[in-house]
Structure 1
Amino acid sequence: MMTEQQTSIRQKLASYLAQLPQPAALKLASGLERERLRGTANLPYEMILAGLRPLLASFRGARPGLPDALRQFCRPFEDLLVDRDDNGARQGRISRVSVMRVWSWLEQDLMPDTLPDLKARIAEHTLKNDEVALNAAVSVMHASTAAAIHAAFDEARQDTARRKQVEKRLGGEIGFEDACEIADVLSVAPAMLELQAVLPKQIADFDEGMVATLKELYERVEETSPSNALYLVFAVMGRLSEPSQILRFVRKVAQQRDDKVISRCELSIFGEQLLSDMEKIARRCEALRPGHADLDELLEDVRRFAHLSKGFTAEIDLHRNGEWGQRLLSARGRLSAAISQEMSRFETELVRALPFHQFGQYGRGGPMRPDLGKAPDRSRLDRVEACLRFVRGVTPICESLGAQSHCRSIRQQIETYLASYEDRLLEELRVSQGTSRTNAGDFLEAAARLHETLGEDRQAEVLRRRGQVAAQG
């Protein structure tokens, strides 16, 4: 158990390391790994590398350096690692925090004699650049660690008390499931490493050649280990820029595009996961209170939903009366309702930020003019800018969300109000004096910035020019 001081030091170190540029981070990681392989003592290797791992995982391309035994241990399942998974235990996703728990468990409990010897051999072969001997040692480590974990789990599943001990050692039930998945992947490590060698780290287009490569490897592994062959597909899915493209492989195996057929085949889990991600986004957006959501975060969720939905429907043929078609329509309807409810308050926010007031003796039906008694309220303008960023972001994808009618209506309301406000503001700018004139200029600049937020740079430029002419008049 770490003390508060140790926790604070680790957090500060992680914060500092996260700001390192890529060349510096890679150089530091390579140097640490080299010194650890040589056995140099008195350096907090694990503390520093733990802070670097999230940053290193975000870099593209092959990572340089001399991988130690732990990195070699992780290689077969590196495409399955996630920083966090809000869905809990889920096949094909392994939490990074589980890796060190499993490794420590192997070192201290399951293989206290064998693993240190394997680590030493891997370090020796790495430093000597003996690739043949290194590959042999790594293969032995993968096979022996997989066997050790499986044996421990077989024992734990037959003894409730033992299972509780193992779960406690691994950080709970999710850690237990992660360790089980690690063992399953390690049992097919040669195929996982072969797949990594022939496919790019980042796949923008999962073309027919790549699909055929995956199918060949998948069918080969499926003959001897049917349940673990799925991890090859999960690994490729982790490399795809468009996760829905994994359905191209599913189509290839099922030899069908029909969702009713695909949803019942052995690879339906990949469609289920995509649908589950969309349903989760819909539920999260549906639970938000209008006016209290972070609109930038909401927009990211909406974009991801639209992205997944578009890809899903492009890869397979969905039927409205099919299970998958019904689930997608339901999630889309809930998300559309949440977006409409959130956007319904945008005009009110605009009125508060660019207010009118009535004058004369005509009551509520009297003429209106911009309220220039106070300078623009920065907090209200910030809220309106967030609203308009959301409108601008949602507009191109509103059709795939089923929210096009409401998006058009809200944008029309905003543009009508802005046009009316700007015309009256320019009149005030011509005749006002003192503080009112200063405030009028600030409101005009605020209105111009709102146009820029909507992506209407030309309108913003024209408004500023009209303001200059009005001020001179």
Structure 2
Amino acid sequence: MADGRLVERLRQFLSELSPGARALLMTELERGLLRGEEMPGAEIVLQELRRSARGHTRPKRPGSLSRLFFQPLEPVLVDDTATHHHPGRIARVVLQPVWEWICRDLMPGEVTAVNDQVAAAFDDDDAARAEALAKAFQERAIVRIEEAIAAARSDEKVRRRLAGQIGTPRALDDIAAILTVLKARQTLAAFAAHLPNHIKSLDDTNIDAVKAIIESPAAGGPALFVYVLVMTMGKLGAPWQLIRLARRAAGTDSATRIAETPYAITVDIVLAEIQRLINELKAELRSGRGLGVSALLKSIHDAARGMRSEINFSHESAWARGLAALRTQVSDLLKGEIETLPGRVRRLLRPRPIKEIAPNSALDETDVRETELQIEFVNTCRAYAGELALSELTTRTWSDLEHYLDPATSALVENLRVAGDTDRPFRQSQLDAAVRFCRKVFGDDYATLLLKARDVAVSAERRAAKS
């Protein structure tokens, strides 16, 4: 249960940071990941920070008993929708409906009594007693859940009623998975203790040792195989590398041969993880190209490239079609964001006649900042364009941007030089925005020269005004 407590403490710590501190931490983590630095635990921290940046909050689970009850599930939980199927993983959002079902329909009186006992134990600062009470309750709940599942499997009417009581899209599958992990909680905890805390790279130096742990009797055998694979993935610096176990087991990169091994499920696990990352990317883009976009794009790119390099998909297969569909999803998702950039820059920087400029007005800072972020975003896309089928679009968009900015800055400098009192603030705000954009496109040296040109133009205007 130590891992679960650490995760809860991490969430509590992050929630207490100021918005500025969370944004700074997210930026530094992303920069470190993009530089290839070893940062154990960075992905889970980024995941929590992204959710906080979007203003999302996870529904609270009522009472300490529920937290202790579900704690063994922590290594296989995934933050995703309840409709997206992850082999060997349980969507965190289903825990609340399942707990409500236990409280309301399965063990209502007992939950109330034990919950009060656990709360009293915590009030007395007796965590050991609280955990003992929760474990005893888990044992009794396991029996009751098994009975409910058995009744549902033998009676269609009971099955429909149970699904309705729980209310999640995959209700029976959800409680079956929860039951499996709860029954095997001691075995899975022992397996986790044998794994390294962090595996920077799953390669020839350690893959056989990791594979031996997965195949050892301590791992619980075939019934728990998919769960121990998911737990192993949680230790990897690059989760997609889980598929290397499949390649090792098959002794070849042939997708056909890999599909014949028990480790074929690793491919499905990684494909589901890529889909989750794409869903995260969609949410980030809806929030306005949030700080998590760069890290998400890198993770998706690396996973897609890793799959194509590790497995030979030359023969048509469901895996090949699935990966192709994911790459298309990303391409379609990013195209709109990329294509609108040149037009947005032109709208802000186009030279305007004085009659279109309100006295003492300026460009909207939010608009300028969002455009600056969009330039950064497109530049990030360029780095990953090949694997995400965006090379032609990003090359064309960036070229359009370069060809527009270079002559446009000269016109902006000249307009500032001859500006009058009423239009000068607006024209200077345009040139200041151009400096920021050019710094992203052409680099610091170009931006510095443009700043000097701006200062010369302002000085010339002041001298003209004095004369």
TM-align CA RMSD: 4.6
The 3 A distance-change label for structure 1 pair 244 and 119 is farther
1:13-49 per-position Cα deviation (integer Å, ceiling 9, x unaligned): xx99973259xxxxxxxxxxxxxxxxxxxxxxxxxxx
Deviation of 1:417 after TM superposition, in Å, equals 1.1
Q: TM-score, normalised by structure 2?
A: 0.69
Structure 2 residue 367 is matched with structure 1 residue 377: no
Residue aligning to 1:150: 146
| Structure number with larger C-alpha Rg | 1
> Contact 2:77–2:92 (CA<8 Å) still a contact in 1?
yes
Greater length-normalized contact order (CA 8 Å, ≥ 6 residues apart):
2
- What residue number does 1:215 align with? 211
The residue that corresponds to 1:405 in the other structure is 392
> How many percent of aligned residue pairs carry the same amino acid?
21
Distance 2:84 2:333 in 1: 25
Q: Which segment is superposed worse, 203-212 or 74-83? A: 203-212
1:328-407 paired onto structure 2 within 5 Å: 328-333=323-328, 335-336=330-331, 339-356=334-351, 375-378=361-364, 380-407=367-394
| CA gap 1:407/1:77 in 2 versus in 1, 3 angstroms | same
- Change beyond 3 A, Cα 1:411–1:108: closer
Give the corresponding residue for 1:37.
Answer: none
**Aligned mates of 2:252, 2:116 — CA distance in 1:** 47
Shift of 1:243: 1.7
- For 1:418, the equivalent position in structure 2 comes to 405
How far did 1:390 drift? 1.9
Higher mean displacement: 430-439 or 409-418: 430-439
Determine if contact 1:245/1:311 at 8 Å carries over to the other structure.
yes
CA distance in 1: counterparts of 2:352 and 2:109, whole angstroms? 82
Q: Any unmatched runs of 5+ in structure 2?
A: 1-10, 19-43, 50-62, 461-467
- Tell whether the 8 Å contact from 2:83 to 2:169 is kept in structure 1 after alignment: no
Partner in structure 1 of residue 176 of structure 2: 180
Tell me how far apart the structure 1 counterparts of residues 289 and 127 of structure 2 sit (CA, whole Å).
55
The question of whether the paired residues in 2 share the 8 Å contact of 1:77 and 1:235 is answered with no
Pick one of 254, 258, 264 that aligns with 1:262.
258
Q: Does 1:199 align with 2:195?
A: yes
Is the Cα contact below 8 Å between 1:346 and 1:384 reproduced in 2? yes
Residue 76 (structure 2) aligned to one of 51, 73, 80: 80
For 1:419 and 1:89, how far apart are their aligned partners in 2?
49
Segments of structure 1 that go 5 or more residues without pairing to the other structure are: 1-14, 23-53, 60-66, 359-368
CA distance, structure 1, for counterparts of residue 403 and residue 237 of structure 2: 39
Shift of residue 444 of structure 1? 1.3
Deviation of residue 72 (structure 1)?
5.0
Which residue number in structure 2 is paired with residue 228 of structure 1? 224
1:139 CA displacement: 7.5
- Code of the residue aligned with 1:421 in structure 2: it is A
- 1:324 maps to a residue whose letter is W
Deviation string 1:274-321 (CA, Å, 9 cap, x unpaired) is: 3345467779999xxxx9994448766644431321232344344365
Residues 42-97 of structure 1, C-alpha deviations (whole Å, 9 max, x = no match): xxxxxxxxxxxx99x959xxxxxxx9765554343211123442544543222334
Q: Does 2:424 align with 1:428?
A: no
Tell me the distance in 2 between the aligned counterparts of 1:449 and 1:166: 59
Q: Which residue of 86, 90, 95 corresponds with 1:94?
A: 90
Q: How many equivalent pairs are there? A: 403
Residues 370/404 of structure 1: CA separation in 2 closer, same or farther (3 Å cut): farther
Instruction: Call closer, same or farther: CA 1:439–1:320 in 2, change over 3 Å.
Output: farther
